[in-house]
Every structure is written in structure tokens, then in C-alpha cells.
Amino acid sequence: MKRILIADDLAIVREPIEIALRHAGYETLAARDGREALKLAQQHRPDLVILDVEMPNMSGLECLRVMRTLEDTRIILTVHAERSTVQQIVACGVAGYLLKGRFSFPELLAKIKALLEAAPVHVSEPSPGDFAAAPSPRCEADDAPAIPAPKRRPEVLERIAEETSLRAIPPVLHHILSLVNNRSTTLDEIAQVVRQDQALAVRILKFANSSFFRSEKRAETLLDAVHRIGLSSIGNIVAALVTMEQFTSAERSGLVPQYFWEHSLAVGAVAEEIGQAVQLEAVDQEMLFLAGLMHDVGRMLLATAYPEEYGVLLEVAPRQRASLGALERRVFRVTHAEATRHALISWKLASAVATAASLHDGTIDELRRAGSPGKTGMIVALADRLTHALIIGHSGDGTLLPIRECARAVGITEEALQRVADRIVERMQDQIFFYASREYQPMAGTVAEQLAARVAGAPTVSVRASTPGFDPLAHFFRRLGWMTGGAPDVEIVSASSRSECDRLVKEAVDARSRTGHACPMLVCAWAPLEGGFTPPPERPFRMIEGVIRYEDVVDAVATLIGQKKSAVEPVAV
């Protein structure tokens, strides 16, 4: 079996390629930076390496210069369309290169097959047409802004450090977290510490008197409020309130603080629920909420440090159906996960919290290699994916992500994860009370309500998946209120491979032929389908492949029931 190494710092780019290659019969290795790629290449001697040019620690070009000494290893580089970069690659004599955003998975698989069957070759100087065909870094609309010019990584890291120091976590949070982790702490001691921060004390009192607690008696003192909230929750409440107060200017970028913190709070709450469901050790459970709450704080830092540039990325990503993380790397040479780690270490939070929070974008293999922090990181990653599927808040990146592999690695069952999803939707009603203490911020409607409003009426959909409890689309449409159990207006097929897709489509066609109800079909493929896809006979269908965004899925349903023209096409890496 041929062995292929995929090296790219962005999981949303790396994982689909890895899945596609495994389905095509190749053994795969994965690395998220140049140093890790070089180490794996030297240890395992892969037959072919797919190497990204722009990676942290060691760039793809630096890595390439060393890898060229490995006998019989062919190398493909994935790059943007800058002429100078392509010329450097050609000069290194690689087996081939691909322009990001310009290749499909069938094309990639065909190129790999040809390279592995042929003797090692070097590419020739690219023709001018190669550059002419490269995509312009602009949105589809003529009046959309151009993607900002790339910045220098050291400059961005320095700017992140400055923003982090300006938003230092106040000592009161560190003090309360240390008290909460001490089993001998009393609620009176917690109240004494909170009194040191008058503004925080007022918000705690207001939260305790919110309708969430449904108490007829008003909490008149801070001690009453702390008793009502309870020792197990007070640390998380303080962490949430304090963290949200550190970022009040990110709105300039287009991030909506209410939606952002709804998402972050939900990830923390979901991570807690999952930790309890899999009976994680108590010491690890205590850090899950904090790691989940903080997992995207690097995005807030980037948006605050570079509001104009980040605002452009937020506008460009959905129009080009691009990964926001990929655009971050392209412009800032840093992803929000890296920025998160820098911030949490600077704020002197526990290293396990910083690691778990910053690993939420990693692959399953990366999380496993991280050891004990990887276990909590795996739970935070699963919590993030489930929260996206439940459309609780919006982190700025409205992308649905596969859940099944992560859930199985965590060790949670479909039934248990469904119970977590059901409980969390109820729990997150609490979030409104965080914003009730921020009187300058008016409450907006939920993201789920806005998505549902894109379609007139409420269509009925059914989702056909191999593991419904682990399927993001099943959670997504249930949250929209469109899975009512009646005869569907649209049937959704959710699959990760060609064989799984063919099987599920056949099951759907056979089932509808027995009932005589043949409705339109939307096929969503979480990984590329090798060899293409055979449409279901005699029924309208649409297909989304690769990156699956909220709006694309909803708009595809609208198209299939005849409400609007389709803007959905298969998405390439």
C-alpha cells in the first residue's frame, strides 16, 4: 500500500484530503507544520508528500529543501497563485504543484495516481497561462473588497501580544478559579473575593436575580447571590463575565459579540456535558468549561487587532465558500487557534486549558498524539462541532463539521450525544442573562431564526445518515424545526464516502418507491466522492461537497422546493 504524507496547518484543508486518500486505498500520515512533516517523512519514508507552502515553525519551502534528499519520495506542493512562489517551487524540482482553490479531488487523485505509477520527474517552468487561470483574490461580487495583502508573521504575533497585554485577565478570576479548585473553599470566601471588584459584584448580583433561577425571594446581598449560583458554577460564571468584558471593540470587524459569546459559552457547556457523559476524571472536567469558553478567543484578538482586514475576511469567506481559517493563514500567517494559545499562556491560565482550547481545530491523530491534554482537546473539538450543528451563536465561521470520528474517539454513544444536544439547547437559554447585565448591548434574534427566515414557510426534511446521532445535518435541521416526522419536502443524504453515499441514496430511492413519495434530494458529502456521483433517477437533486456552510444548505433546500435560484456548487479545497 502506497503511503502519502499530507502536511497543512489547516485541519479543514488537511482532513478532507486525508479522508479522500484513505478511501482511495492509500495509507496516510498527517502533519500540521513543517517540522512535524519533516520528522514524519524521515521516520516513515512516504511514497509521496502533499506539502503546503505556508505553515508555521518551518515553511513548506524550507521543509522541501530537506525532503528532496529522501530517495524515491515525490512531492506535490499546494500554493496560492503568486508567480514568485511558483517559480521558487519549480526551481526546487518538485514532482508537481497545485494552486489552492483551483483543483478538485478527482484531479488530485488522478495526479497522485499518475505520479506514483511513473518514474520520478521534475516539472517544467509553468506557462503564462497557468498564472492567467489563477483566481483573482476577490469576492464574486464586483463591489466586494479585495483580500488584504499578507502580513509578516512576526509583526502579527507582536500585535497579538500587545492586544493580549491590554486585555489581561484580572487577578480576581485567577483567585476565584484557585478557590473553586480547592475542596475546602466556602461560599463565604468566594463572596469576599468577588467584593474586591465592584463592577463584577454588581453583575453577579444581577445574574443571581434573573428569572433563570426562578426564586421568589430576591438575593439582597452578594453572599445570597453566590449561594444561589452555587460553588460548582460560580467559577464558570465569573470566567464568562470577565472574559466578555475584555473585548468591546471587535464589532468594528463585523463579529457580533452576542453571537460570538453565545457560541463560546455553548462550547464550554457542551464540553462539560460530554465530560460528564464519558465520566472524565473530575480534575479534567473542571477545565472543560474554561477551555471551551476560551477556544475561539484568538479570533477576537485578530478581529480587534486588525478590524478592517478581518472584516474583509468575514465578508469574503461565505462568498467564496472559503475556510475562514485558510484566509486567516493567508493574510495573517497565523490562525486564531495559534492566537488563542498565545493569549491563554500570556494570561497564565493552566497549560492544560491553553492546550485543549488551541487544539480544537486539530485532527484526531494530532489530538491523540497530544496525550492527556489531547483528551480534553478532543472533547472541546467535539463540543465545538456539535455547537456549530446546533446553531447556537456564531463564531464568525458558519461551517458544519463532521462529528462521527471525533465522537467515537471521545467514547460517547449516539444516544448519549443526542441527550447532550437536547439538554444544551435548554441550558443555553441561560445565556440571555449574561447580556441582560450588559445594558448597552440590545439582544438580537438567534442565528437559527435568521437561517430559517431565508425560506418562506417551514419545509419538512428528513436526514438519511449511517449514524444519525452523530450527524451534523440531523442536529442542524432538528434545531431549525424542519424535521417534524411528516412526509418530507426534501430528503437529505449525509455521507463521507462514495460507497456510503451510493448505499444511502439507494436506500432512499427504494424507500420512496415503496411509499410512492419521491421528493427532491440534497446530497451532502463531508469528503470528496471518488469517481463522481450518480444522481438519483427521476427526481430533482443538489449536491454540496467538501466545505458545508449553513447558508449553502438552507439555500439548497429553498432551491429544491422552488423558492430561489441555486447558488450551491461542489466546493474544492
pLDDT tens-place string over residues 158-171: 999 998 888 777 78
| Domain presence at residue 355 | yes
| Domain presence at residue 436 | no
Task: Classify residue 307 by burial, with Cβ atoms within 10 Å: 0-12, 13-18, 19+.
Answer: middle
Q: What is the pLDDT of residue 36?
A: 87
Q: What is the pLDDT of residue 122?
A: 39
Closest by Cα among 278, 306, 297, 284 to 344:
297
Q: What is the pLDDT of residue 497?
A: 87
Domain housing 240: 170-245
Q: What is the pLDDT of residue 444?
A: 60
Residue 139 — pLDDT band, cuts 50, 70, 90?
A: very low
Whether 360 and 476 share a structural domain:
no
- Residue type at position 77: L
- The enclosing domain of 26 has a CATH number of 3.40.50.2300
| Domain presence at residue 95 | yes
Q: What is the pLDDT of residue 493?
A: 94
Q: Which of 380, 399, 430 is the last residue of a domain?
A: 430
Complete DSSP assignment for 495-563: ESSHHHHHHHHHHHHHHHHHHT----EEEEESS--TT---PPTTS-EEEEESSEEHHHHHHHHHHHTTS
pTM: 0.71
Whether 197 and 85 share a structural domain:
no
pLDDT tens-place string over residues 468-490: 999 999 999 999 999 988 889 99
Closest by Cα among 110, 108, 9 to 55:
9
| Average pLDDT of span 334-342 | 91
pLDDT tens-place string over residues 363-412: 777 777 776 666 888 999 999 999 999 999 899 999 999 999 999 999 99
Whether 117 and 163 share a structural domain:
no
Whether 409 and 458 share a structural domain:
no
Residue with the bigger pLDDT between 435 and 47: it is 47
User: Between the CA of residue 430 and those of 96, 207, 286, 287, 477, what are the distances in Å?
Assistant: 53, 10, 20, 20, 22
Whether 108 and 176 share a structural domain:
no
User: Between the CA of residue 217 and those of 86, 187, 225, 231, 503, what are the distances in Å?
Assistant: 70, 19, 11, 20, 59
Residue 10 — pLDDT band, cuts 50, 70, 90?
A: confident
Whether 118 and 13 share a structural domain:
yes
Whether 163 and 284 share a structural domain:
yes
Task: Classify residue 110 by burial, with Cβ atoms within 10 Å: 0-12, 13-18, 19+.
Answer: exposed
| Domain presence at residue 571 | no
Residue 136 sits at φ, ψ, to 5 deg, of -75, 135
Contact (Cβ atoms closer than 8 angstroms) between residue 492 and residue 548: no
Q: What is the pLDDT of residue 565?
A: 46
Residue 77 sits at φ, ψ, to 5 deg, of -110, 140
- Residue type at position 383: A
| Domain presence at residue 573 | no
Q: What is the pLDDT of residue 156?
A: 93
d(CA 259, CA 256): 6
| Domain presence at residue 269 | yes
- The enclosing domain of 366 has a CATH number of 1.10.3210.10
Whether 234 and 262 share a structural domain:
no
pLDDT tens-place string over residues 68-118: 656 555 666 665 544 445 555 555 555 566 655 555 677 778 788 878 876
| Average pLDDT of span 292-313 | 92
Residue with the bigger pLDDT between 291 and 435: it is 291
Asked if residue 199 has pLDDT above 80, the reply is no
pLDDT tens-place string over residues 220-258: 888 888 888 887 678 777 877 777 777 766 778 888 888
Whether 318 and 360 share a structural domain:
yes
| Domain presence at residue 304 | yes
| Domain presence at residue 139 | no
Complete DSSP assignment for 240-291: HHHHHHT-SSGGGGT--HHHHHHHHHHHHHHHHHHHHHTT--HHHHHHHHHH
Whether 262 and 378 share a structural domain:
yes
Contact (Cβ atoms closer than 8 angstroms) between residue 552 and residue 524: no
d(CA 98, CA 33): 18
Q: What is the pLDDT of residue 261?
A: 85
- The enclosing domain of 534 has a CATH number of 3.40.50
Q: Which of 372, 401, 430 is the last residue of a domain?
A: 430
Mean pLDDT lowest among 179-188, 315-324, 427-436 = 427-436
- Residue type at position 323: S
d(CA 453, CA 294): 30
d(CA 391, CA 393): 6
Contact (Cβ atoms closer than 8 angstroms) between residue 237 and residue 204: yes
Q: How many domains does the chain have?
A: 4
Whether 221 and 268 share a structural domain:
no
Asked if residue 12 has pLDDT above 80, the reply is no
Whether 351 and 422 share a structural domain:
yes
pLDDT tens-place string over residues 418-427: 999 998 887 7
Asked if residue 289 has pLDDT above 60, the reply is yes
Helices (H), 167-248: 171-180, 187-194, 198-208, 222-229, 231-245
Asked if residue 141 has pLDDT above 70, the reply is no
Q: Which of 178, 211, 245 is the last residue of a domain?
A: 245
Residue 528 — pLDDT band, cuts 50, 70, 90?
A: confident
